[in-house]
Structure 1
Amino acid sequence: MSKCEMYVYGGSKKEQATTKSMVKRIFPKLAFLTNADLLLLGAPILEDAFPSTLQEKTRQAELMATRLAKLGAHHAVFLLKNCLFLPKLLYILRCSPVWKFPGLLRNFDEVLRSSVVSITNTKMTDSVWRQTSLPIVKGGLGLRRAEEIALPAYLASIFSAKRLVSSMVADFDVGALCAAEQSAWVEQSGVELPMPELRVHQRLWDQPIVQKHFLAVVAS
């Protein structure tokens, strides 16, 4: 049982302590998880675990950034865009509502920005960084910011799981589940929600926000 873990949910703190004590007598090597430790396949389940998870991803990004400096610029930018930064975080963005922690996502993005500055040996103002983080089709380098893509990724993931969850939970209401996310998206994008049957596509959640940032870059 040394590799087994247990999380006690519900009840008062006293009841949880009693439960842990009883289980501990039977399985002395069992590890008990706290709210901040509770992960499922690497994705944090409760908000208490979001900061530590994002901070660890940022630390890993910093380590990778130091190693990219040893490569040629073209190879480094390719790996930066396609392998080592946002692709490493996208699973968590889709599984957990980490969009609620923009400051931590911004820290991750700043590591990406610093890495691009180092690789390209250029000064990068806020305006240049905004353009750099746009998709290639919009004149950027496609180095997308986690802070910008977190909400579209999470919304698309929720609606993608709607059919499966509805088959198991008869009264499942996806609209009520992600009402806050949808309101935040409308505020960020400035447009109406996508058509219900198209909400499974992350691109449709992402495009209006991209367009808004693109127009801001053009106007600056």
Structure 2
Amino acid sequence: MTHTDVQDTTERTRKRFARRQWARRWLAWKPVVGVVLLVVLAGVLVWLVFFSSYLAVQGVDVRGVSQLQASQVRSAAAVPEGQALARVDLDRIRTRVEALAPVRSADVSREWPDQVRIDVTERVPVAVVSIAGKLKGMDDEGVVFRDYAKAPPGLPRVETGTDTGSDALREAALVVGALPTDLAATVDHVQVDTVDQITLVLRDERTVRWGSSDESDLKAEVLAKLIAARKAQYYDVSVPSQPTTR
């Protein structure tokens, strides 16, 4: 073997040794490099989602409104446009929207990449009530939430005393909400004095003593049968198991 051959063999051996050394070092460092890359990737994702302008709020999508304008909901929601969508406080937005009187409930969600969506469920009037000389709509929870120039057809009117409280209005709303459509259509107004002194006045001036809202479904059923069976000026279904007429 010549001197040149010896040098070539030595060089090849040295290179094989170097490759084995590098492979061993890579095996030792590979998990560390992987962890570093994952940390860097996670940091980039956190920055992208929570702090960059790429996923920031650019608009508010309002759905489900008919009484309200979408602009009114956006104004009440006060969504911070330009803030990272992931950091927007959805509960606070929902609370602000539900503070609007016509809103029964609101659902607020993120629409990636850059929108906040607000789904509104509005209150539905079951009666009208005169308060301070203004005619207002009232839902089945007794919440007064909108104004009317005149009462819409088919909605009974609720009349209250000067000291009638919100609890009595809620009771009246429960009563009206329990009335079947055909029976509600015969009601001119509901007189509310206290929570357990509620009276229906029919369009033909007959009166019905209702009492409280307890057992309203049963009271409505009993009243319908009484009206069909007996013509009277006065009906008392405050105790539905013992109705009276005169």
Tell me whether the two structures share a fold, i.e. TM-score over 0.5. no
Structure with bigger strand share is 2
TM range, normalised to the smaller chain?
Answer: under 0.3
Question: Structure with the greater relative contact order (CA < 8 A, sep ≥ 6): 1 or 2?
Answer: 1
User: Given the two structures, how large is their TM-score scaled by the length of structure 1?
Assistant: 0.23
Q: TM-score, normalised to structure 2's length? A: 0.21
More helix by share: 1
